[in-house]
Amino acid sequence: MTKRQSSYEGRQKNIRKLKTPRIEVWKNQYPDKIYTVNLEIPEFTCICPKTGLPDFATITVEYSPHKYCIELKSFKMYTIFYRNIGIFHEHVINKILDDFVKACKPRWVKIRGVFNPRGGITTTVIREYT
């Protein structure tokens, strides 16, 4: 039996090393309180790494700040960066979560990406950090 090579082979090899814009933070004045912040990006776009066509999604971030909170303008600029990046849905959610945790070190965070249908299939990717 021969191994069939995927037409996606090698397209995301270095995605974990992708240099993204810095997400800025500000000092939380209530680090002793446990509360939740919800962020919604209803017009997120990235590029399909195979077709080069745009992918559209709603990204929702739910987190509990600890010492730092996310600065929204820098987070907006961070998400806009992906408009020209060819990246799989699964990878973009994982990369956003990794960068988010690195920036603010929250108590916990959950990121959900609901990608518009492609070929009649809606993709939802969820990742959590606790």
- Give me the active site residues, please: 48, 55
Residue 7 structure tokens = 């037409």
Residue 31 structure tokens = 């680090």
- DSSP class of residue 14 equals T
Q: From CA 61, how far away is CA 36, in angstroms rounded?
A: 10
As a whole number of Å, the CA-based R_g of the chain is: 16
